[in-house]
Amino acid sequence: MPDAPVILADEPGSFPHGVLSARHPALIRAVQDAFPYGPGRRRALDELLTGATEGLIEPLGTEDDEQWARWGSGEYLGRSWFEVPFLWSESYFYRRLLQAVGYFGPGSWQGIDPFRPFKLAELDAPETDEELAALDRLGEQPLDKQAQALLHGSLWGNRADLGFRLSAPGAPTAVTRLVADDSEVFWSLLPVDTLCLVADNAGRELIPDLLLLDHLLRHGRARRALLHVKVHPYYISDATTADVVDAVRRLAGAKGAAAGAGERLWTAMAEGRLEVRTHPFSCAPLPYADMPEDLRAEFAAADLTIFKGDLNYRRLVGDRLYQPTTPFEDVTAWFPGPVAALRTLKSDVIVGLEPDTAAALVAAEEQRWRTSGAHALIQVRP
């Protein structure tokens, strides 16, 4: 893979520094407010808040220390959270948060997802009904228009109707925010026997992913689909198996075309045509280039693998400060099969841009375009 500096969080004012110094403390307070944790759990969360912003990285003090040693903790323990790779420190923070709330037990809080209230609130929001209603209008379009709209809906995450507007005449605004668009290459790779989608967030962002899979299965673009989710809660909204079930139920309980999609997805899961997969490496603080052989073999067996979202993009290409024009093909050459990335830009890492595109973005927005979420990309390596 091309060499580039690993992203750290040691520069005040940078995006990674803001995540560790502001976003993580705010998340701890939100979790404290979301559950009636007792004094012990609340004290543990307070200690994490102070330690993760002012202290040094400490061992877990559990049997998981052995696993984290294999993932690099031997090199990082005793150092500032801001001075180690950003991807690693973020991941370790969430592992420590789960420990603070008792997720791994033993005890009465074992297995209770501390982010579940936020995920369910998104699913139950009135905006979700409005987005799902757009599916009824989308059904009036030709199949190729539907497919492209659903691809864009998945790309942009929590706006299931955005793709429909992208396909409508006279609505070019969002299209211009695509900094790279390999959608034609993407469609040229279909149909396939086995499609793998590595999911990102739960809630309203998972629903468009499921709708895309439903369309591909329903219209013969994929014979079966594998949906990879996290083995346990990770980051604030990353999808787990429970979140998939919640999202499918939300669809099935809706009206119109959304209900039909939910029922088809439920049946596809029951019949094995849509299979939810998990792997411990899904919550590792490492790039996917370092994945174990069993997971590598699983991706190799798929005809096409889609990595969805910003965190998965960082882990796919490596969380490094590449030149934006570094070819996507170069940083994914190690991947054992055709691979696609659907990503809204919310962090510093970026590859695969044309020189003119990169120059125009910097001229218009300096470096804010990398992290604002206002731009997106579809990149494919056949």
Pick 160 or 213 by higher pLDDT: 213
HSE value, Cβ hemisphere, 13 Å, CA-based, for 199 = 36
- Residue 254 sits at φ, ψ, to 5 deg, of -85, -165
Token digits for 280?
A: 């411990």
Pick 267 or 130 by higher pLDDT: 267
Bridge partner residues of 376 (DSSP): 178, 344
What are the tens digits of pLDDT across the range 276-309? 999 999 999 999 999 999 999 999 999 999 999 9
What are the tens digits of pLDDT across the range 332-371? 999 999 999 999 999 999 999 999 999 999 999 999 999 9
Decide: helix, strand or coil at residue 285. coil
* C-beta of residue 228 within 8 angstroms of C-beta of residue 197: yes
For the cut 60, the answer to whether the pLDDT of residue 207 exceeds it is yes
HSE value, Cβ hemisphere, 13 Å, CA-based, for 150 = 28
Least confident span in 167-176, 207-216, 321-330: 167-176
* Distance between start and end Cα atoms, the chain: 17
* C-beta of residue 322 within 8 angstroms of C-beta of residue 351: yes
- Tokens 């411990």, located at residue: 280
What angle, 0 to 180 degrees and rounded to 10, lies between the N-to-C axes of helices 241-252 and 206-218? 70
- List strand residue ranges (DSSP E) for 203-325, in order: 222-228, 274-277, 304-308
Q: What is the average per-residue pLDDT within 254-263?
A: 97
pLDDT band at 131 (very low <50, low <70, confident <90, very high): confident
The pLDDT assigned to 169 comes to: 37
State the amino acid at position 307 in one-letter form: F
For the cut 50, the answer to whether the pLDDT of residue 168 exceeds it is no
- Tokens 């599916």, located at residue: 135
Q: Distance of alpha carbon 115 from its chain centroid, rounded?
A: 15
Question: Cα separations (Å) of 90 from 36, 139, 230, 234?
Answer: 25, 41, 15, 10
* C-beta of residue 219 within 8 angstroms of C-beta of residue 211: no
Q: What is the average per-residue pLDDT within 89-103?
A: 98
Which of these, 311, 368, 298, 367, lies nearest to 342 by C-alpha position? 311
pLDDT band at 176 (very low <50, low <70, confident <90, very high): low
Which of these, 130, 198, 147, 176, lies nearest to 343 by C-alpha position? 198
In terms of DSSP bridges, do strands 274-277 and 192-198 run parallel, antiparallel, or are they unpaired?
A: unpaired
What does the mean pLDDT of the chain come to? 93
Global pTM reads 0.94
Decide: helix, strand or coil at residue 8. coil
* CA 332 – CA 247 distance, rounded (Å): 31
Token digits for 263?
A: 């029922």
pLDDT band at 157 (very low <50, low <70, confident <90, very high): confident
pLDDT band at 177 (very low <50, low <70, confident <90, very high): confident
As a whole number of Å, the CA-based R_g of the chain is 21
Total H helices, total E strands in the chain: 18, 7
For the cut 50, the answer to whether the pLDDT of residue 120 exceeds it is yes
- List strand residue ranges (DSSP E) for the chain, in order: 178-181, 192-198, 222-228, 274-277, 304-308, 339-344, 376-381
Decide: helix, strand or coil at residue 228. strand
